[in-house]
Every structure is written in structure tokens, then in C-alpha cells.
Structure 1
Amino acid sequence: MAAIVRLSSVCRRGVKPLFYQSTFLARPLAVPHTYKEHPYQLTAKIHASQALCAGSGSKAASLHWTAERVLSILLLAMGPVAYFNPGPFMDYSLAAALTLHGHWGIGQVLTDYVHGDAKIKMANAGLFLLSTVTFAGLCYFNYNDVGICKAVAMLWSK
């Protein structure tokens, strides 16, 4: 999509794109500059979407993106630490980090593929329920059984 928008900006400046009027194509890759009916329809739809706007001047989306990346890197570091230093603190840290990582990941899938106000509300409620049950289940497993670290070690030993 960015290529289409970028190609159209090049065409407006008078540069003729490669294969613009080629006989190999049934239609040109870009609409001629004389076509003025809806010149900004595609970009207007993208920028007017309420789902993409976090608010004017808000850094919430940027902070969320940064938090997701920090958590991903933290999970990479938690693997070796959990292997060499298993214990209750590491078990509960893994339970929280894995649940949050899964919650954010499934939330992005829902944002991309679920449309309609009622469906979005139901999907988000289901996601919060799933995340809560997952975290509670991992905490229950850590408290009443061997814990995440030792369970993974037991799986690798067989």
C-alpha cells in the first residue's frame, strides 16, 4: 500500500514510472495525473480511521510499541536466567511475562481481523477472560506443582 501511495506522489511530480504505459500490462501501474475525481481517497480512508488514532499528540501507541519490544527482549533474556536460576520469583515472572506477551499478540490479531463494534467488544472480553485464566492457571501451577522452570527442565530431560 505504501508503494501505491509513494508511486502516486512520484507521478504528481511529473516523473514517468517504469512500465507506466508498457504493452506488457493490461492497465498502467498508476492513474494518470489528469484523473482528479478522488485523488486522496485511499489515504483519506487510512488517516481518518478511528482505530489507528490514539489521540492528537498522544504517545500511547509509541509507548505501547516500545513496551512490546522490551518485553520480547526481556523474554529472550529470561530463558537462560530461568535455566540457570530456577525458583519461585522466576516462575511468577515468566507467568506474568508470557501472559502479557500472549495478550498483546492476540490483541493485535483481533485488531486486524475483527470488525464491528459488538464483535470487537465480545472479542476483547474473551481476550481478557483468556488472559486472566491463563495467568491464574500458570500461578496455580507454580504454587501447587513444580513451577514453570522445573517443568520445562523435566520435559527436556526425557
Structure 2
Amino acid sequence: MKPDTLEKVLATLRTDNFGAIEASIYFAKFDKNVRLAVDKELDAYDKRCIQTFFAWGETLFTKLQQASFQYYQAHLDSIGEPIEIASAEIWNHCQPMNIHFLSSQQDSLSTFIDVELECDWEIEHGMQWLVKNTDELVFVAPYNGHADPDCKLDLSWWNFA
């Protein structure tokens, strides 16, 4: 089953062996089901985030492609390796693994979706995206496990958003 609607995502809700609540959500761009980590019982905000996620379009993915490729270039440059792929090939070298919804104290009307990805060029850290609503990149960088929509994650050259 592809959990590609709110109802189908809700049908996949479960508690894992450690007591964490999770679900599956279909990531159409990558044609795969991804783990949705949930901090608590799903509420109206989480349901809004699911609907926002399913509304992500090509405009956002163009921005994510450019920012992800810039991260790829900067990482290879920092370790002295040559650039081996073109921007258009970036999706072949990364895979989303986990999605998490973050709320903002300062902007309760917006949705914030945090995505953890594995990537070929940075096996140890992977990549992290933080997306506001359907079109605004807040953070694209090595995965650090922390994303706060109330704090501009301006890590100078390591934030490619």
C-alpha cells in the first residue's frame, strides 16, 4: 500500500518496540514509503503537515535540487574530491529515510517538515532538509539531528537553503 493520502497515512500508525509512534508516508518524488516519526498522538497540526507534504510540487523540488547539489559540491570541495555528477542527477544519489514535523512558537500558521536523507557523497552525516509550507527552504545541509523553525539555522556556508 502506498500511504499517499491522509487517511492511508493514519492507517499505518503504530507504536514500535521502544514506545515511539511512527507511520509510513509515501514520498512520490522518490517512489518509496518513508518512516514518519511522530512525537505524540497525531493532532490537527500533524494532519496539516501531512497534507502540506503531499502538496509539495516541482517548484520546491527545483529549489531542493539546487540546494542539495550546492551541498554536494561544497562537501566534495572540502575534502578535495572532484565533482562527478551533474545537478540533474542529484536525486540518484540521495534517499529520504525519515520525516518529522516541527512546530513553531513564532509562526503557528506555517508547517515545518524536517527530512533526513542518506546520500552517497556524505555517508556519515547524510543530508537534512527543513521546509516551511510548500515552497520555502529553511535548511539544507549535513544532517545534524536538530532543526528549529524558530531559530534561523544560519551556519554560514553549511546551510544551502
* Band the TM-score falls in, shorter-chain normalisation: under 0.3
- Bigger Rg, structure 1 or 2: 1
Query: Scaled by the length of structure 1, what TM-score is found?
Result: 0.24
**So what's the TM-score if we normalise by structure 2?**
0.24
User: Which one has a larger percent helix, Structure 1 or Structure 2?
Assistant: 1
Determine which structure has the larger strand proportion and give its number.
2
